[in-house]
Chain A
Amino acid sequence: METAGVRFVGDEMLVWSDLDGDHGPGPARGAALEPFLAAARGRTLVAGPHAAELLDVLQEVTVLVRGVKDAELLAGREGRTVLCGSPATLSAEGTFDTIIALAGLEVLDTAETDGLTWAQILAMLKNALEPGGVLVVGVENPLGVHRLAAPRSRRTDAEWTPVPDETRPVNPDAIREAVGAVGRVYSVYPGLEAPELILDEKDQSGVAESGLARAFPGTDDMTADPAELAIESLRCGIGPVLAPAWIVVAARDEESLPDITCGPQRAVSGPTLERRLVHAAARQDLPVLRALLADWQSGENAGVPADQIISGLDGVLSPLAAPGDPGRALRALAVRLLRGSLPHPWPAVTGADDLTRTLAGMAGRDIDPASGAVPAGGEIGPAYGAGSALGDTSLASGAGSRSGDLDVSELRRLPFAELVADRERLTRELAEARAQAAFFEAELTAREADLRGAQRMVELLSGKGPARAGQAFVGGVRAARRVLRRRG
Chain B
Amino acid sequence: MHRANDYYGHSAVLARYCGVPGEQPPRIHGYLQHGWNIGDGMAADHEYVAGVPLFLWSERVRRRAWSMGRRETYVVGAPWAYLLRLRPEPPAAPAREGTIWYPFHGWEGQHVRGDHARLIDRIKHTETGPVTVCLYWQEFWTADVRRRYERAGFRVICHGYRGNAHQAGDPEFLDRQLTELRQHRRVASNRLSSAVWYGILAGCEPAVYGDPMVLENEDPTHGGQARIRRQWSGLHGEQIDIAQAHAAAVNELGADRMAPPAELRQLFRWTRAAARVRENAL
Give the B-binding residues of A (Cβ under 8 A): 284, 286-287, 290, 345-348, 354, 357-358, 360-366, 380, 382-388, 390-392, 395, 428-429, 431-433, 435-436, 439
Task: Check A348 against B19 for contact (C-beta < 8 Å).
Answer: no
Contacts A360-B262, A360-B266, A361-B263 supplied; 6 other A-B pairs, CB < 8 Å: A290-B260, A347-B71, A361-B266, A382-B262, A384-B272, A387-B265
User: Among residues 19 to 55 in chain B, which have CB atoms less than 8 Å away from a CB atom of chain A?
Assistant: 19-21, 29-30, 49-54
Would you list 9 pairs from A and B whose C-beta atoms are within 8 A, ordered by A residue?
Answer: A286-B257, A286-B259, A347-B54, A347-B72, A362-B260, A364-B263, A365-B262, A382-B19, A387-B271
Task: Check B21 against A429 for contact (C-beta < 8 Å).
Answer: no
Q: Write out the residue numbers on chain B whose beta carbons fall within 8 Å of the beta carbon of A384.
A: 18-21, 265, 270, 272, 275
From A357, A366, A383, A435, contact of B50 by CB (8 A): A435
The 4 closest A-B pairs by CB, nearest first: A432-B51, A361-B263, A347-B53, A361-B262
Q: What residue of chain A has the Cβ atom nearest to residue B49's Cβ?
A: A439
Q: Mark B145-172, 1 if CB is under 8 A from A, else 0.
A: 0000000000000000000000000000
Task: Check A382 against B267 for contact (C-beta < 8 Å).
Answer: no
User: Among residues 235 to 278 in chain B, which have CB atoms less than 8 Å away from a CB atom of chain A?
Assistant: 256-257, 259-267, 270-273, 275
Q: Write out the residue numbers on chain A whose beta carbons fall within 8 Å of the beta carbon of B263.
A: 290, 358, 361-362, 364
Task: Check A390 against B75 for contact (C-beta < 8 Å).
Answer: no
Task: Check A390 against B49 for contact (C-beta < 8 Å).
Answer: no
Q: How far is the CB of A408 from chain B (nearest CB, A)?
A: 24
Task: Check B273 against A366 for contact (C-beta < 8 Å).
Answer: no
Q: Write out the residue numbers on chain A whose beta carbons fall within 8 Å of the beta carbon of B271.
A: 387, 390, 395
Complex: how many Å from CA A145 to CA B268? Answer: 41
Task: Check A388 against B72 for contact (C-beta < 8 Å).
Answer: no
Complex: how many Å from CA A425 to CA B252? Answer: 32
Complex: how many Å from CA A435 to CA B71? Answer: 15
Q: Write out the residue numbers on chain A whose beta carbons fall within 8 Å of the beta carbon of B272.
A: 384-385, 387-388, 390-391
Complex: how many Å from CA A386 to CA B262? Answer: 9
Task: Check A361 against B72 for contact (C-beta < 8 Å).
Answer: no
Q: Write out the residue numbers on chain A whose beta carbons fall within 8 Å of the beta carbon of B54.
A: 347
Indicate whether B209 reaches chain A with its CB closer than 8 angstroms: no
Q: How far is the CB of B191 from chain A (nearest CB, A)?
A: 29
Complex: how many Å from CA A433 to CA B267? Answer: 18
Q: Write out the residue numbers on chain A whose beta carbons fall within 8 Å of the beta carbon of B264.
A: 361
Q: Write out the residue numbers on chain A whose beta carbons fall within 8 Å of the beta carbon of B51.
A: 348, 428-429, 431-433, 435-436
Task: Output the residue of B50, B74, B264 with the most chain A CB within 10 A.
Answer: B50
Task: Check A382 against B273 for contact (C-beta < 8 Å).
Answer: no
Indicate whether B62 reaches chain A with its CB closer than 8 angstroms: yes
Indicate whether B173 reaches chain A with its CB closer than 8 angstroms: no
Complex: how many Å from CA A146 to CA B234? Answer: 57
Q: How far is the CB of A142 from chain B (nearest CB, A)?
A: 41
Q: How far is the CB of A438 from chain B (nearest CB, A)?
A: 8
Q: Take A395-B273, A436-B51 as given contacts and tell me if A362 and B17 are in contact as well, using a CB distance cutoff of 8 Å.
A: no
User: Among residues 47 to 70 in chain B, which have CB atoms less than 8 Å away from a CB atom of chain A?
Assistant: 49-54, 59, 62
Q: Write out the residue numbers on chain B whose beta carbons fall within 8 Å of the beta carbon of A361.
A: 259-267
Q: How far is the CB of A361 from chain B (nearest CB, A)?
A: 3
Complex: how many Å from CA A395 to CA B265? Answer: 14
Task: Output the residue of B71, B73, B265 with the most chain A CB within 10 A.
Answer: B265
Q: Write out the residue numbers on chain A whose beta carbons fall within 8 Å of the beta carbon of B49.
A: 432, 435-436, 439
Q: What residue of chain A has the Cβ atom nearest to residue B261's Cβ?
A: A382
Q: Take A347-B30, A384-B21, A439-B49 as given contacts and tell me if A287 and B267 are in contact as well, using a CB distance cutoff of 8 Å.
A: no
Task: Check A387 against B262 for contact (C-beta < 8 Å).
Answer: yes
Q: How far is the CB of B106 from chain A (nearest CB, A)?
A: 27
Q: Take A391-B273, A436-B49, A436-B52 as given contacts and tell me if A348 and B265 are in contact as well, using a CB distance cutoff of 8 Å.
A: no
Complex: how many Å from CA A384 to CA B50? Answer: 29
Q: Write out the residue numbers on chain B whose beta carbons fall within 8 Å of the beta carbon of A435.
A: 49-51
From A347, A362, A387, A432, contact of B259 by CB (8 A): A362
Q: How far is the CB of B267 from chain A (nearest CB, A)?
A: 7
Complex: how many Å from CA A388 to CA B271? Answer: 9
Complex: how many Å from CA A364 to CA B259? Answer: 9
Q: What residue of chain B has the Cβ atom nearest to residue A382's Cβ?
A: B261
Task: Output the residue of B17, B52, B275 with the most chain A CB within 10 A.
Answer: B52
Q: Take A390-B272, A395-B271 as given contacts and tell me if A431 and B50 are in contact as well, using a CB distance cutoff of 8 Å.
A: yes
Q: Write out the residue numbers on chain B whose beta carbons fall within 8 Å of the beta carbon of A439.
A: 49
Complex: how many Å from CA A185 to CA B30? Answer: 55
Complex: how many Å from CA A454 to CA B53? Answer: 33
Q: What residue of chain B has the Cβ atom nearest to residue A439's Cβ?
A: B49
Complex: how many Å from CA A52 to CA B22? Answer: 72
Complex: how many Å from CA A386 to CA B261? Answer: 11
Q: Write out the residue numbers on chain A whose beta carbons fall within 8 Å of the beta carbon of B18.
A: 382, 384
Q: Write out the residue numbers on chain A whose beta carbons fall within 8 Å of the beta carbon of B30.
A: 347-348
Q: What residue of chain A has the Cβ atom nearest to residue B73's Cβ?
A: A347
Q: Write out the residue numbers on chain B whose beta carbons fall within 8 Å of the beta carbon of A365.
A: 262
Q: How far is the CB of B92 from chain A (nearest CB, A)?
A: 26
Q: How far is the CB of B262 from chain A (nearest CB, A)?
A: 4
Complex: how many Å from CA A365 to CA B21? Answer: 19
Complex: how many Å from CA A362 to CA B103? Answer: 39
Q: How far is the CB of A168 from chain B (nearest CB, A)?
A: 48
Q: How far is the CB of A355 from chain B (nearest CB, A)?
A: 9
Q: What residue of chain A has the Cβ atom nearest to residue B75's Cβ?
A: A286
Q: How far is the CB of B71 from chain A (nearest CB, A)?
A: 8
Complex: how many Å from CA A432 to CA B51? Answer: 5
Complex: how many Å from CA A345 to CA B50? Answer: 16
Q: Take A382-B261, A429-B51, A432-B50 as given contacts and tell me if A346 and B17 are in contact as well, using a CB distance cutoff of 8 Å.
A: no
Q: What residue of chain A has the Cβ atom nearest to residue B47's Cβ?
A: A439
Complex: how many Å from CA A391 to CA B271? Answer: 9
Q: Write out the residue numbers on chain A whose beta carbons fall within 8 Å of the beta carbon of B17.
A: 382
User: Among residues 70 to 122 in chain B, which have CB atoms less than 8 Å away from a CB atom of chain A?
Assistant: 71-75
Task: Check A284 against B52 for contact (C-beta < 8 Å).
Answer: no
Q: Write out the residue numbers on chain A whose beta carbons fall within 8 Å of the beta carbon of B261.
A: 361, 364, 382
Q: Write out the residue numbers on chain A whose beta carbons fall within 8 Å of the beta carbon of B260.
A: 290, 361-364, 382
Q: What residue of chain A has the Cβ atom nearest to residue B274's Cβ?
A: A395
Task: Check B266 against A357 for contact (C-beta < 8 Å).
Answer: yes
Q: What residue of chain A has the Cβ atom nearest to residue B273's Cβ?
A: A395
Task: Check A290 against B53 for contact (C-beta < 8 Å).
Answer: no
